[in-house]
């Protein structure tokens, strides 16, 4: 019987002890694997949060909050100076406007409802109805009637970025194409609801600002408000609406989240009192704080589980070596070397560890996701706040300032919501790494026990026996 075979057989000499050791090792390895997967999942989520909401600075004209605020628009000249600031990667500029029946032949796809009627009345809008018109209970003598929301038009340098629109959402091109950031053509990309309401498709035309506009694309944002919007090139809207060079909203993209605060300060200094400048860094930090707690917990638990596994192996092998002193002495007396004896015990340790690893991997795979979600839910149970966006979308339209403000609120709210949906993804690479680490620990622990083997002298053992 060779050394390795003897080591494997020895692992099962005491079945009760083998079972106990394998179960304890399995629990330890399972915990370590679960914590490793949780740590990996949290790291990925933190990186995702930082890259999605943590590296932008929002700029809007001072005092502007949609069409309910006041103030004067920013200019492209002012934002050109911002583009030159250190750590500014790029800037998305937009100009929001509203199209009424006198500006376009498009019909809004939004039904005002009671909220739209209320907001329209609070804004002081009045309308003298034509003779014989029916208003569903509204009195013509009051000078008010059923309110139809205007069509929101957004001129932008980034048509596929809905963060500058009130409705937000995810831009998905349903058909056609989008225009370039520097386009000056009389073209537009329509939301699916607006296109359906007006029976428009790619290649169709409509009138806006007394100009014929061609539909080159139709998009789906995943929500009703954004799907009722009209997106056009910034230069085109500036020209047709007689707002040359005007900007109502801008998003400054910073090269790294670590530079957001310094860029915010620099933008505020550059634009002075002409703009309101905010960033998502603080909100993002608040959002990822629970994740960082989980990151620490999972790391410490991982280290603890690995140390526990190593100690179990070490103590087990020391105990086995002490029990088999006489056997070791006999084996060495008949000519076996210290190396062969050590290999026998290392094989035994690896056998026990592999059995424990099989159980641990199964436990880790099953428990990783529930453990991760439990940690996330417990760590993110503190109250969080988000920006309400319903008011701006009730029928009064939305301007650049409010649009970016509301979009940030929705984005952060979505991130907080998604945090509770973290899943620990189990891949073969993780399993193989875990198995390799377990075997390495077993070899290390048994190697340390081999030090006791080297001290065993056959003559002393035989004399003592």
49-63, 230-244, 262-276: segment of lowest average pLDDT: 49-63
Q: Which helix (H) or strand (E) holds 155?
A: strand 151-156
CA-to-CA dists, residue 196 to 200, 219, 227, 229, 297, angstroms: 6, 11, 10, 12, 52
Q: Is residue 102 domain-shared with residue 206, that is, in the same domain?
A: yes
**Higher-pLDDT residue of 192, 31:** 192
- pLDDT(465) > 70: no
Residue 396: half-sphere exposure toward Cβ, Cα within 13 Å: 21
Per-residue confidence band for 147, with pLDDT thresholds at 50, 70 and 90: low
Has residue 412 been placed in a domain?
no
Residue 386 falls inside a structural domain:
no
Closest CA to 159 of 109, 209, 230, 240: 230
Q: How confident is the prediction for the chain on average, in pLDDT? A: 75
Q: What does 245-295 look like in DSSP terms, one character per residue?
A: TEESEEEEEES-GGGHHHHHHHHHHHHGGGEEEEESHHHHHHHHHHHHHHH
Is residue 200 pLDDT above 90, yes or no? Answer: yes
At CA 434, angle to CA 371 and CA 436, rounded to 5? 170
Residues 317 and 424 reside in one and the same domain = yes
Kindly state whether residues 435 and 451 are assigned to the same domain. Answer: yes
Residue 100 shares a structural domain with residue 237: yes
Q: State which of 78-87, 110-119, 161-170 shows the largest mean pLDDT.
A: 78-87
Between residues 293 and 355, the one the model is more confident about? 355
pLDDT at residue 201, as a whole number:
94
Please give the residue range of the domain that contains residue 258.
Answer: 58-280
CA–CA separation, 281 vs 255, rounded Å? 13
Does 110 share its domain with 154? yes
Q: Is residue 41 located within the same domain as residue 67?
A: no
pLDDT over 80 at 271, yes or no: yes
Token pair of 190 as six digits: 């329509």
| 177 pLDDT higher than 90 | yes
Domain-located, residue 410: no
The closest of 232, 219, 225, 275 to 252, measured between CA atoms, is 275
Dihedral sign of CA atoms 296, 297, 300, 303 in order: negative
Pick the most confident of 48-62, 68-82, 237-251: 237-251
Q: Is the pLDDT of residue 130 over 50?
A: no
pTM: 0.52
Low-confidence winner among 41-45, 116-120, 138-142, 324-328 (lowest mean pLDDT)? 138-142
User: Does 144 share its domain with 224?
Assistant: yes
Instruction: Confirm if 252 and 88 have CB atoms less than 8 A apart.
Output: yes
What's the pLDDT tens digit per position in 229-261? 999 999 999 999 999 999 998 999 888 878 888
Which among 263, 280, 297 is the end of a domain? Answer: 280
Q: What is the helix (H) or strand (E) element at residue 364, kind and residue range?
A: helix 338-379
| 385 domain residue, yes or no | no
**Distance set, CA 2 to CA 232, 345, 351 (Å):** 80, 13, 15
DSSP string, 140-152: GGGT-----PPEE
Is residue 446 within 8 A of residue 438, CB to CB? The reply is no
- Judge whether 305 and 297 are in contact, CB under 8 Å: no
Nearest of 277, 267, 281 to residue 86 by alpha carbon: 267
Question: Could you give the number of structural domains in the chain?
Answer: 2
Q: Quickly state the pLDDT bin for 116 (edges 50, 70, 90).
A: low
Residue 370: inside a domain: yes
Sign of torsion over alpha carbons 110, 111, 113, 119: positive
Boundary of a domain, candidates 225, 253, 280: 280
Residues 220, 31 contacting (CB under 8 angstroms): no
| Residue whose C-alpha is closest to residue 451's, from 327, 338, 328, 308 | 338
Q: What is the DSSP letter of 104?
A: B
Q: Return the number of other C-beta atoms located less than 10 Å from residue 402's C-beta.
A: 26
Look at residues 260, 280, 300 and tell me which one is the last residue of a structural domain: 280
User: Do 7 and 63 belong to one domain?
Assistant: no
Tokens of 437: 């680490």
If asked whether residues 132 and 238 sit together in one domain, one would say yes
Which residue reads 């386009």 in tokens? 183
| Residues 9 and 94 occupy one common structural domain | no
Residue 120 lies in a domain: yes
Name which residue leads in pLDDT, 348 or 181.
Answer: 181
Q: Is residue 397 part of a domain?
A: no
Residue 415: inside a domain: no
**Band of pLDDT at residue 283, cut at 50, 70 and 90:** low
Residue 129 has pLDDT above 60, yes or no: no
Better-predicted residue by pLDDT, 210 or 312: 210
> Could you tell me if 82 and 109 lie in one domain?
yes
Instruction: Read off the pLDDT band of 157 (50, 70, 90).
Output: very high
Residues 328 and 426 occupy one common structural domain: yes
For the ranges 24-28, 304-308, 358-362, 438-442, the lowest mean pLDDT is seen at 438-442
């Amino acid at each position: 019987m060779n050394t390795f075979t003897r080591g494997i057989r020895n692992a099962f000499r005491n079945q009760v002890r083998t079972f106990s050791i394998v179960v304890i090792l399995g629990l330890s390895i399972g915990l370590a694997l679960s914590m490793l997967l949780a740590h990996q999942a949290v790291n990925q989520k933190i990186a995702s949060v930082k890259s999605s909401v943590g590296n932008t600075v929002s700029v809007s004209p001072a005092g502007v909050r949609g069409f309910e605020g006041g103030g004067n628009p920013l200019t492209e000249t002012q934002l050109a100076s911002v583009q030159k600031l250190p750590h500014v990667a790029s800037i998305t500029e937009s100009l929001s406007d509203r199209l009424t029946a006198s500006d376009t032949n498009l019909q809004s796809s939004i039904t005002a409802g009671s909220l739209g009627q209320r907001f329209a009345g609070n804004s002081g809008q009045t309308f003298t109805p034509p003779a014989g018109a029916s208003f569903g209970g509204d009195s013509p003598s009051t000078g008010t009637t059923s309110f139809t929301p205007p069509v929101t038009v957004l001129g932008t340098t980034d048509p596929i970025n809905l963060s500058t629109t009130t409705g937000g959402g995810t831009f998905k091109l349903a058909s056609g194409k989008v225009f370039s950031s520097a386009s000056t053509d009389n073209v537009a990309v329509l939301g699916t609801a607006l296109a359906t309401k007006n029976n428009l498709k790619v290649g169709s035309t409509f009138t806006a600002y007394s100009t014929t506009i061609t539909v080159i694309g139709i998009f789906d944002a995943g929500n009703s408000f954004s799907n009722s919007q009209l997106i056009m090139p910034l230069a085109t809207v500036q020209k047709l609406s007689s707002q040359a060079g005007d900007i109502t909203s801008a998003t400054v993209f910073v090269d790294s989240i670590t530079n957001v605060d310094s860029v915010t300060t620099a933008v505020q200094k550059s634009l002075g009192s002409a703009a309101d400048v905010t960033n998502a860094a603080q909100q993002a930090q608040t959002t990822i704080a629970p994740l960082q707690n989980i990151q620490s917990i999972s790391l410490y638990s991982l280290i603890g589980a690995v140390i526990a596994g190593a100690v179990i192996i070490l103590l087990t092998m020391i105990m086995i070596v002490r029990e088999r002193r006489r056997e070791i002495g006999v084996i060495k007396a008949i000519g076996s070397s210290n190396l062969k004896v050590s290999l026998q015990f290392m094989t035994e340790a690896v056998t026990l560890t592999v059995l424990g690893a099989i159980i641990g991997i199964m436990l880790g795979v099953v428990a990783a996701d529930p453990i991760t979600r439990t940690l996330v839910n417990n760590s993110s149970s503190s109250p969080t706040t988000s920006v309400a966006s319903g008011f701006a979308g009730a029928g009064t339209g939305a301007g650049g300032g409010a649009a970016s403000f509301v979009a940030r609120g929705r984005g952060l709210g979505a991130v907080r919501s998604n945090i509770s949906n973290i899943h620990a993804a189990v891949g073969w690479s993780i399993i193989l790494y875990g198995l390799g680490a377990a075997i390495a620990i077993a070899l290390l622990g048994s190697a340390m026990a081999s030090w006791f083997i080297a001290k065993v002298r056959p003559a002393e053992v035989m004399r003592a026996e």
